[in-house]
Amino acid sequence: MPLDPAVLEREFPEFVIEVERGKIREFALVLGFNDPVHSDVEAARAAGYADLLAPPTFTRQFWHENDENDPMPHLGYDPKRRLHGEQEFEYHKPLVAGMTIRGRNVIISTREKEGRRGGKMTFVVIETRFVDEAGDLVQVARRTLIETAAPPKG
């Protein structure tokens, strides 16, 4: 389905993540981290962090996302052909427990191409810039969402 131009121009509101120790510990435990900077406050401090450090992929979470602030549900993608193609992070400042960060999703690029077996593939890149309480950039995340080509009819 072709992308709705109104979605591309739409501004999505800011959202907030309160970075909690429990969530960092859970993330690190599930992914099997051995590094105590993600689970032990004393160790994190000894390593020079103010509190537990978030693992590198921590900000790619869905808890704070909803139909208001996330462009994904508005792309018109067929859920059966929707893929997360790429994910990218830029790290500007350590993300630690106790911080409150704000993010905003912006569609930064879109592209269509012919599928190998007919139909159109659509690529959308959503960028999320996360800033701390002082407005300093903490992280930039970019995800590429793909709608794979519709299978040829007949």
Partner 1 sequence: MPELLAYAKWEELTEGAEREVTIGPLTRTDFVRFAGANGDFNPNHHDEIYAIRAGFDKIFAPGMLQGGYLGRVISEWVGPGALHTFRIRFSAQAWPGDMVNCTAKVVRQYEKGGERLVEIEAEALTQSGDILIKSHAVAAPAS
Give the binding site for partner 1 (CB under 8 A): 23, 26-27, 30-40, 42-43, 46-49, 53, 55-57, 60-63, 65, 79-80, 83-91, 94
CB of 68 to partner 1, least distance (A): 16
User: Rounded to whole angstroms, how far apart are CA atoms 145 and 3?
Assistant: 12
User: Rounded to whole angstroms, how far apart are CA atoms 151 and 132?
Assistant: 44
Nearer to partner 1, 56 or 76 (CB): 56
User: Rounded to whole angstroms, how far apart are CA atoms 135 and 126?
Assistant: 20
Provide the residue type at 142 as one letter: R
Q: Of the candidates 138, 114, 15, which has an alpha carbon nearest to the alpha carbon of residue 71?
A: 15
Nearer to partner 1, 8 or 94 (CB): 94
Nearer to partner 1, 42 or 133 (CB): 42
Residue 26: enclosing H or E segment and its boundaries? Answer: helix 21-30
CB of 75 to partner 1, least distance (A): 15
CB of 26 to partner 1, least distance (A): 5
- The DSSP output letter for 148 is P
Nearer to partner 1, 118 or 151 (CB): 151
